[in-house]
Amino acid sequence: MPDRPRPRLVFPLVLGFALLGPGCAFVPKPKFDEAQKLVQSLRSENTQLKDSALTLKVQNQDLAQRAVDDDKAIRALEAANSQYEQSIQAYQQDREELQAAFRELKSQVRTASGP
């Protein structure tokens, strides 16, 4: 009968082969440190991007509110402009009526004073 390894030696051998196998590789310290720096850099950049996104969101809300306020102001100015146009037309019509009345009065005075 062939000699089988003792159970006490099998576990350390299997563990040793598993650690040295292709799926489990040790990373050199410089590469590990570089990876940690990269992760920290990416986390920092991610935080900055989140801050920028929040700032842009607030600016967008401010601009949207300003657009609403500007729209209200434009509508108010358009209404006032329309009223001013109507008022000017009324004044022009009154002036034409007064001018026509003055011409008629002038004509009557000439007729009444005689030649």
Tens-digit pLDDT profile for residues 16-70: 655 555 554 577 889 999 999 999 999 999 999 999 999 999 999 999 999 999 9
Q: At a CB cut-off of 8 Å and minimum separation 6, what does 61 contact? A: none
| d(C-alpha 100, C-alpha 107), whole Å | 10
Q: List, in order, residues 6 or more apart from 35 with CB less than 8 Å away.
A: 27
Segment 61-81 mean pLDDT: 98
What CA–CA distance (Å, rounded) separates 92 from 86? 10
pLDDT above 70: residue 75 = yes
pTM above 0.85, yes or no: no
Dihedral of CA 96/98/100/106: which sign? Answer: negative
Q: Is the pLDDT of residue 110 over 70?
A: yes
d(CA 105, CA 112): 10
Q: List the chain domain ranges.
A: 29-113
pLDDT at 15: 57
By three-state DSSP, how is residue 24 classified?
A: coil
For residue 33, CA distances in Å to 29, 40, 42 come to 6, 11, 14
Residue, of 23 and 82, whose pLDDT is higher: 82
Percent of the chain with pLDDT over 70: 77
